[in-house]
Structure 1
Amino acid sequence: MIAAGFALYAGSPPRDLWWLAPLAFATLAAVVRHRRPRAGFGYGMVFGFAFLLPLLGWLQDFLGADFGPWPWLGVAAVEALFIGLGGAGMALVSRLRLAPVWMAAVFVTAEAIRSAFPFGGFPWGRLAFTQDTGALLPLASIGGATLVSFAVALIGSGLAELAWRARRPRGWAVPLAAVLVPLLGGLAMWPLIGTEAQAGTKRVAVIQGNAPNIGLGLLNSDDVLHDNHIRAARRLVDDVRSGRVPKPDFVVMPEQVGSWGPSRTDPQLSAIAGQLDVPLIVGGLGQDSNGALRNEIVRWDPEDGFSQRYIKQHLVPFAETIPMRSVASLVSPFVDRFPQDMVPANTPGVLEVAGTKIGVGICYDVAYDDVFGPAAANGAQLLVVPTNNAWYGHSEMSYQQLAMSRLRAVETGRAMLVSATSGVSAYVRPDGSVAEQTQLFTARNLNVEVPLRTERTIATELGSTPMWTLAVLGVGAVVLAGWRTRRANA
């Protein structure tokens, strides 16, 4: 189980080894097959811990110097508990007919639970996020991340069943279909993923001003991020004026560039917008007149400055919101930085910018299913995700997050622009391919022409329906298997 869990990590971004994920899952499915739920839980937890511990190594890069390995180990262990629950459920339903289907549904249900609980959930490490390339990615346009996770689990469960039946002359139809249908379905969908502009194009400048690689030293260095990105934006102004780059229709800047109180002023941002004569999309920490703190993205206009805004929906536990504040100082440096919790929003981020509807999510938002899909459903023609990844050093975190952006692009049929303080910034096409990207800890501006799209994908139309459907199937299979087991033992 340790080797299988590590293999799932090895198949995760930035490595282009998407096919390792179903093979790793096949090992889990084969081991828990026909075992007691208690054994399934144990094997699932070992598998999950071996996967999540290296996957979340960026937490150690972030907090380790000051807090030791305990936050990293604690998060990996808590999340592994949910994978353990998935293993227990898989063991229970593995004796049912069509077992690969029920095992996959149970695991996806466990993913959905850990994406919501505790403290708003932590979706990092979903099976879908290993599939930013390869045959299964197009399935995101039908059922989003949920369907892609289900496809990985279904193939893995089917492979496990095929291995068990290798010396039997009958009973191959269901497991063979479980392996082939997702693969062939994904391959068949590739030509149907649209990338053409349906409502014209826009030229967009993406600013990456860089940040010093000092980890928690950034905690009280807001001015450094602000000044670096103002400097990078001024380089854009000079490049446009000299004709070295075309004038953009608007500019995207990362999360946490600005900081403004109720007066909502920033003369330097206003100067940049005025010199370019285009709006900026810029992230910052805002404080409302009632004292509420918000992580927000603002449309900054050349004449009026602060205009429309999007407020982050999913706040990071123990950072932007502090559960159990009295003891949280043992695992979080943000307790002293923010004496009060930030306030989230619950509405999709759609901003009107330069005659275009832009779907917006901030950093951690991209891991969740209820941000960019609803934005596309509400008319967004292009997606942007400003983020601040400077905390995490040269770890894999930025590449893992980019993989999520690639999946969201396919899920919604929209181009995606990632604007990161220190990288990785990128232009992702609607088919999930990366047209341009930056390196970590470099100052670089992108200037790209992106397609605007209006057609809704099936995934956008269905919304959360695939998740609830598979959850009903998974829970129903567990209930049925449990009832049959109790009746057999009566």
Structure 2
Amino acid sequence: MAAAAGPVLDAGFPDKDWWPLTFLGIAMVLLAQRGRRAGTAFLIGFVAGEAFYLVHVSWTALYLGPVPWVALSTFEALFWGAGGVLISLAYRWVPRAFPTLLGRLGLVPVVVAGLWILREYVTGTWPYGGFSWGRVAESQSTSPFAPLVAWLGISGVGFAMVWLVAFAVELAIAADLPGVQRWLLAGVAVSLVLAIPAWPATTHGSTRIAAVQGNGPAGYFDNAPVGAVFNAQVAETLKITDQKVDMVVWPEGSALPDPTREPSYASILDALSRKMGAPFVVGTITYRGGDYYNTSLLWKAGRGAVDFYDKKHPVPFGEYVPDRAFWRPFAPSLIDLIGRDYTPGTRDNVFAVDGVRAGISICFDIVDDQLLTDMMHGGAQIILAQTNNADFGETDENQQQLAIARLRAIESGRSLVNISTVGSSQIIGPDGRTIASTPPFRPGHMIAEVPLGTTTTPATLLSRGIEILVMGLGLFGLMVASASRREPSPAPRRALR
């Protein structure tokens, strides 16, 4: 059951996007964990995690082969194994400590859901900044549960999902509960969650944005000539130079070589910015003080780069190799492919673009909850999510990332421009609806009046506090149950006749 749960869970995510299957997958994992001792609980959790990630991140093997794919899946599965031990202990200890029906229905689901989110938190933060890809709430970008993200954040919605499933499991096995009451309680639980109205994402004014997808040869192994991606971006931008816009957005790594160091490329950006009468937000690679950075530039004609943001969450083993001397002996040919290490940035992730405050997210930044909080604290009215999906081809990766971006728009109450070198590129409203899009793997552009957000959602107001609360409920509940659980009484001896 644990092995089958992995593909079922994945089917709830894009591109299949059969979101109800996520709930079924969670139920299969929880049912497999019930009644296990520590050793088998770890094995069950590990198998479920391995089966899930081998399917979910299979795109990592597209160009690099099976080693990084299997290594990443196996490493993440270890956390699933450890989380499985805690969940199995909760299933054993909480009913012993609180053996009433209220304890089983009221406490067990809360503790189990909290421990599930604790595991997601650990995998998303450790080591080297973690890997937050594959949290269960990330499957719900097009489901009726998506509006909850504005209230609870991604971790809070994940908690609600696992709680609902765990509650349903307890209802199903509660032998002392009549069938009618089971269905009634299940219906009430689902209704309580879905009855929460969508957050009123208020906006004030708009800005006209052009986002350009050049579809240049941006892949690591494309062996493209210098400037090929830049030239593709320029060619597509020239089609819209007669349009009146307030800003033009290019993807991650689109302005290479670095226009701050190459006068010819700077002059082209200057000419485009002057002709369109608008600043450009472009991605490049900068080299400063002996370090490389994945950088977004705010470029204005005649002034050059007036602001910049360096990616704060470069991908470990993708954009840099942490502890290179330690890891290189395990796979020297793969490690040596990463010839330069990007340094995490330290600057704020908000640009002031002619009176509009734009939050900047570069590719993997989009999965980092703290970076969303930072840009909201910086007064961001819109989010510009620049990315490069060329290395993953026509796999699920770009759709998975777009789903996360859509949830971020809803979570923050901000319109979001997801612009990729090759797709999938969309402009998404603060309610999660698609304002504009361009087909993947074709040159294209999007021009739209994008609403400016003014609201502060509960999710961004409370930020990581929601995550800490639900994790605390799980850990505290498990510790209390451990301290107060009642050992089963020994069976009475038969009297001798």
Which amino acid is the alignment partner of residue 304 of structure 1? R
Number of the residue aligned with 2:19: 18
Confirm or deny: 8 A CA contact 1:207 1:445 kept in the other structure.
yes
Q: Partner residue of 2:254?
A: 257
Query: Which residue number in structure 2 is paired with residue 111 of structure 1?
Result: 120
CA distance in 2, matches of 1:17, 1:417: 25
Alignment-derived partner of residue 121 in structure 1: 130
Q: Which runs of 5+ in 1 are unaligned?
A: 241-245
Query: Helix, strand or coil for the counterpart of 1:370?
Result: helix
Listed one character per residue, the Cα deviations across residues 132-183 of structure 1 (whole Å, up to 9, x for unaligned) are 1112111111121111111121112112112212x43269989976874465
Alignment check: 8 A CA contact 1:318 1:328 kept: no
How far is 1:432 from its partner?
Answer: 1.3
Q: Secondary structure at the match of 2:132?
A: coil
Q: Which among 72, 77, 81 is matched to residue 74 of structure 2?
A: 77
- Is 1:38–2:46 an aligned residue pair? no
Amino acid of the structure 1 residue aligned with 2:299 = W
Of 346-355 and 449-458, deviating more is 346-355
Q: Which residue, out of 189, 197, 201, partners 2:203?
A: 197
Where do 1:430-449 residues align within 5 Å? 430-449=430-449
Deviation, structure 1 residue 100: 0.7
8 Å contact 1:162–1:172 — kept in the other structure?
A: no
Q: Is the 8 A contact 1:319 1:332 kept in 2?
A: no
- The answer to whether the Cα contact below 8 Å between 2:137 and 2:155 also exists between their aligned partners in 1 is yes
Q: 1:49 to 1:336 in 2, by over 3 A?
A: closer
Structure 2 vs 1, CA of residues 188 and 70 (structure 1 numbering), >3 Å: closer, same or farther? same
Q: Residues 70 and 31 of structure 1: is their aligned pair in 2 closer, same or farther, counting only changes over 3 Å?
A: same
After superposition, the C-alpha distances for 1:335-383 in whole angstroms (9 at most, x for unaligned) are 45534x2221245411001210001110001111011232123211001
| 1:416-473 superposed Cα distances (whole Å, 9 cap, x missing partner) | 1011000011011111122322222110011111100111101111011011112222
Comparing 217-226 with 329-338, which one deviates more in the overlay? 329-338
Residues 484 and 20 of structure 1: CA distance in aligned 2, closer, same or farther (over 3 Å): same
Distance change (3 Å), C-alpha of 1:28 and 1:299: same
Q: Secondary structure at the match of 1:61?
A: helix
Map 1:27-426; keep pairs closer than 5 Å. 27-64=28-65, 69-95=66-92, 96=94, 97=103, 98-165=107-174, 167-169=175-177, 180-181=188-189, 184-190=192-198, 192-194=199-201, 197-198=203-204, 200-212=205-217, 215-218=219-222, 223-237=227-241, 240=242, 246-258=243-255, 259-260=257-258, 263=261, 265=263, 266-288=266-288, 290-326=289-325, 327-328=327-328, 330=331, 333=334, 335-339=336-340, 341-426=341-426
For the structure 1 residues 230 and 119, does the alpha-carbon distance in structure 2 shift closer, same or farther, using more than 3 Å as the test? same
Higher Cα Rg: structure 1 or 2?
2
* CA offset digits 1:31-51 (Å, max 9, x no partner): 212322322221111111111
1:243 alignment counterpart = none
**Partner SS, residue 411 of structure 1:** helix
Amino acid at match of 1:415: S
Cα 1:221/1:202, change in 2 over 3 Å:
same
May I ask how many residue pairs the two structures share in their alignment? 472
Query: SS at 1:138's partner residue?
Result: helix
Deviation at 1:479, TM superposition (A): 2.6
User: Which runs of no fewer than 5 residues in structure 2 stay unpaired?
Assistant: 95-102, 490-497
Name the CA distance, whole Å, in 1 between partners of 2:180 and 2:60: 43
Which deviations, in whole Å up to 9, do the C-alpha atoms of 1:398-433 show, x marking residues without a partner? 000000001101110001101100001101111112
Alignment partner, residue 99 of structure 2: none
TM-score, scaled to structure 1: 0.90
Tell me how far apart the structure 1 counterparts of residues 136 and 187 of structure 2 sit (CA, whole Å): 16
Is the Cα contact below 8 Å between 2:22 and 2:136 reproduced in 1?
yes
What is the RMSD of the two structures over their aligned residues, measured on CA atoms? Answer: 2.5
Does the 8 A contact of 1:282 with 1:297 survive in 2?
A: yes
User: Does 2:10 align with 1:9?
Assistant: yes
Letter in 2 for 1:249: D
SS at structure 1 position matched to 2:87: helix
Instruction: Show the counterpart of 2:100.
Output: none
Q: 1:216 to 1:334 in 2, by over 3 A?
A: farther
The structure-2 alpha-carbon separation of the partners of 1:396 and 1:77, relative to structure 1 and needing over 3 Å to count, comes to same
The verdict on how the C-alpha distance between 1:466 and 1:178 changes in structure 2, with shifts beyond 3 A counting, is farther
Amino acid at match of 1:248: V
TM-superposed deviation, 1:222: 5.3
2:450 maps to what in 1? 450
Report the secondary structure of 1:314's partner residue: coil
Letter in 1 for 2:193: G
C-alpha deviation, 1:248, in angstroms: 1.1
Q: CA deviation at 1:264?
A: 6.8
Provide TM-score, normalisation by structure 2: 0.89
Contact kept in structure 2, 1:62 and 1:393, CA below 8 Å: no
Aligned equivalents of 1:7, 1:144: Cα separation in 2: 24
Tell me, in whole angstroms, the C-alpha distance in 2 between the residues paired with 1:17 and 1:107.
21
Question: In the aligned structure 1, how far is the partner of 2:301 from the partner of 2:454?
Answer: 27
